[in-house]
Structure formats: structure tokens, C-alpha cells
Amino acid sequence: MKKSCISGRITTFHQQSIHSMSLAYEVMRLFASPQGHLVEIKRHDQMANTSDSGHEWLWVTNRSVSSLHPSRIEGEMHQVQTFREAQLQLVDQHAELLWFNGDRFTLEARQPLTLPPEQRQLIHNHLS
């Protein structure tokens, strides 16, 4: 039986691989709490099917990502946004997410607008 020869040759990693994995969104706002992250993103791909010019709110935990679906209410103020799943109240650098199941999370704005790698991967998977 003939053994195959291993050359030991190292090939160059091309930057093209990184660009093909680039994400088609930009983080606009980021809030954090011990329970998870609330992220407003602006999608840059053609799959952005939200009515607010590609903006979308995501609730990101250590294990999952959930989209929050806007619920339009006449006269709603910009500091209060209502979704089918929860209501968001924005006050300066703080926010409160009131889930309709009774949970209430207090969040703080984060700068820079960068999520940990695990959460970025979850968002990438969610949007794919």
C-alpha cells in the first residue's frame, strides 16, 4: 500500500473569505442588562422587510435572538416604542423593556456599539 506524501506547504489565507462572511447590518443602538442585549440594527441587504427603512430591534441572549415586531400606534412618542412582544421606554442612556408576559428588564446604553463575538454570531445566524 502506497502512502500519500504530505507536502507541508502552507497556503495563503485570502481576505476574500472574510468579505464573504461580512454582516449586512450596522448596529445603531445597543442596550445591555444581565438578562441580555437589546440591539437596534439597520439592515443593508435586500431582505430588510421592515417598514422603517431597514431598522429592526433584536433581543439577544446568550443562546438566542428574537426579532421585536413593531406595532404602530397613532400618536406614539419616540421615547416609547410598542412591539407585539413588549414595550420599550427610552430615557437618555437608560431603557426599560416591559414584556407583555410580565417580565421587566432595565437596560443601559453601551458604547462602543460592539457585541461580544457569540452574540454577533447569533445575530448573523438569525438574519441568514
- Cell 463575538 locates to 117
What does the pLDDT read at residue 79? 87
Report how far Cα 56 is from the mean position of its chain's Cα atoms: 8
Helix/strand/coil for 1 = coil
- 51-98 pLDDT, tens digit per residue, is 556 789 999 999 999 999 988 765 556 789 999 999 999 998 999 999
Residue among 43, 58, 68 nearest 123 (CA):
58
- 109-125 pLDDT, tens digit per residue, is 999 999 999 999 999 99
- 8-24 pLDDT, tens digit per residue, is 454 443 333 333 445 57
> What is the C-alpha separation between 48 and 25, in angstroms, rounded?
10
Residue among 5, 8, 47, 7 nearest 25 (CA):
47
What does the pLDDT read at residue 61? 95
Say which residues have a Cβ less than 8 Å from residue 71's Cβ, sequence separation at least 6: 82, 83, 84
Q: If you count DSSP H runs as helices and E runs as strands, how many of each does the chain have, helices first?
A: 2, 8
Please indicate, yes or no, whether the overall pTM of this predicted structure exceeds 0.85: no
